Amino acid sequence: MADEAYWIYQASTPTPSHWEAVELGCFKGTEAGWHSLTPGMRREIVRSAKRKQDAAQKALVLEAFDDFEHQDRRSFLDRRSEVERAARQRL
């Protein structure tokens, strides 16, 4: 924290806190260990953890959508086979 004045680059996002990193589960070290990392490294650790969470959520959504799509396709095929059976019986 004391050495953060050394870094003159102004990042577009604030440097995440140790608590935020622990809450995301991406850092298991001490607060002193967290502050020994550069601000950019701290941001990257949290950013990559958030990307992984977003990808996992997106995969769940796509999986649910895929299940819905398959279910819809199955019901369509079932209905089509019923219509074909009824048509054959009329002949």
Neighbouring CB atoms inside 10 A of 85's CB total 10
Domain regions of the chain by residue span: 2-90
Neighbouring CB atoms inside 10 A of 46's CB total 20
pLDDT of 78: 76
CA distance 45 to 5: 21
pLDDT of 58: 83
pLDDT of 2: 52
Q: Per residue of the chain (91 residues), what is the pLDDT tens digit?
A: 555 566 566 777 788 899 999 988 989 989 999 999 998 899 999 999 999 888 888 877 777 666 666 666 677 777 778 888 888 887 6
Structure pTM? Answer: 0.55
| Angle, alpha carbons 90-81-77 (nearest 5°) | 155
pLDDT of 8: 67
